[in-house]
Amino acid sequence: MIGAMNLAGWLLTPTRGLAERHENDLALVAKIPGMAERETPLLIFREFMADSDGEVEAHIRKTLPQRQALLTQIRERFELREPLRFSVEEIEVRLMFVPQPELRQAVAYHRYCLDITDYLFAMNRMDNFYAGITAPKKAYPPIAEKGISAFIVHRLAKVYRAICRFSDESGRIASYRVSGAIFSNHLGAVDLDIEFLDTENFRMQRRPFTIWQSNCSGLFQLMAIPVEETLHYCLGHATDRQIKGAFKQMPGLTLAAAKQVADAWMSVEEALVGGLVDRVLQRYCTRYQVLLPGLAFTQKPTKMPDLAQYRYRRQGIELVRRLGFRRSIDMYVDHPAVFKAHLDDVGKA
């Protein structure tokens, strides 16, 4: 990826009017990754709600085993024997955010997000489903009743509380409430919520809002965020259909198992999106006669957050390069399992 110091090397001869304005905006956007990271002011986005947040659960699973004094106390108090097993349940999350700074760079990035999403919808001959793309400055920003609300923030934080249930081989069980807070590594997120209704019946829905963080390490990631999250909403109906079909073939599925199935298919969706983003940004930059060498994943690998959802990302980028933009989308929308088989072949190569 390139930094602001390399900007002069990738801007071509300015064009008039609209293209010149976009060139100026991208010059400002390119400076954002090098700006200072802020932790305040921290405003409430949404109060505590039941939320099976995978990032929070992974954080608890990673940090709790390191609290040896606490584990010893729990084991002795409830007469539990080694080895201990534990599960994370009843997670509640309050979302908080650090707003975008009042700077020209932030205003330019907001304009870029509006333009690149318009470009993506036109490119795919789709209606714009966003009710609004805003950069909130006050707590509790309203979520539209219709359409998708996108919020641009500097950083996203998650305050959590959850119940950890410990058990041993004898069957003894103990519960312990944990709480804490983390800054999220999800630069953007289109979350799929799964709710257990009754035996073999689940309700699935994608949240009507998405939060985009501008605090990231590279220009590619920054420019990719609005494209990536928009593509998730565009392709989500095919993924959700595949997940529901998998549920029907697995009678007696528990909620935990259902989430594992969903996570596996969401990672396939992530793989496709990763490849498509690369193509969209290349076309966008060509449109405005802006050259961004190093933006392509295939030319300059970009470090992604260390999350399970990105486990097929590299294969997805390579597969889209082989199949092409439109064929990749058509294959996935018609038959996600066929796309997954091709993805597996790339992984074996």
In a domain, 67, yes or no: no
CA contacts within 13 A on the Cβ side of 76: 6
Contacts of 274 (CB under 8 A, 6+ apart): 228, 297, 310, 313, 316, 317, 320
In a domain, 145, yes or no: yes
Taking each helix axis as running N to C, give the angle between helix 255-287 and helix 325-334, from 0 to 180 degrees, rounded to the nearest 10.
160
In a domain, 168, yes or no: no
31 closest CA partner among 135, 114, 115, 109? 109
Q: Are 135 and 152 spatial neighbours (Cβ–Cβ below 8 Å)?
A: yes
Quote the pLDDT of residue 329.
94
Between CA 39 and CA 102 the distance in angstroms is 15
In a domain, 90, yes or no: no
Model pTM? 0.84
DSSP 11: B
Which structural domain range is residue 200 located in? Answer: 4-30+100-153+185-348
Q: Which tokens is 213 given?
A: 């963080």
Strand order in the sheet with 130-134: 130-134, 148-153, 209-213
In a domain, 262, yes or no: yes
In a domain, 173, yes or no: no
Quote the pLDDT of residue 103.
93
Between CA 290 and CA 282 the distance in angstroms is 9
Question: How many domains are contained in the chain?
Answer: 1
pLDDT per residue, tens digit, the chain (349 aa), is: 223 323 323 333 344 455 666 667 888 898 898 889 999 999 999 999 988 888 899 999 999 888 888 888 888 888 788 778 888 989 999 999 999 999 999 999 999 999 999 999 998 888 999 999 999 999 999 999 999 999 999 999 999 999 988 888 787 888 889 999 999 988 877 777 777 666 567 778 888 999 999 998 888 889 999 999 999 999 999 999 999 888 888 877 787 788 888 888 888 999 999 999 988 988 888 877 766 544 543 444 444 555 567 777 888 889 999 999 999 999 999 999 999 999 988 877 6
Quote the pLDDT of residue 84.
80
In a domain, 52, yes or no: no
Quote the pLDDT of residue 19.
61
Phi-psi region of 294 (alpha: psi -120 to 50; beta: other; left: phi over 0): left
Torsion over CA of 213, 217, 219 and 225, rounded to 10 degrees?
Answer: -30
In a domain, 87, yes or no: no
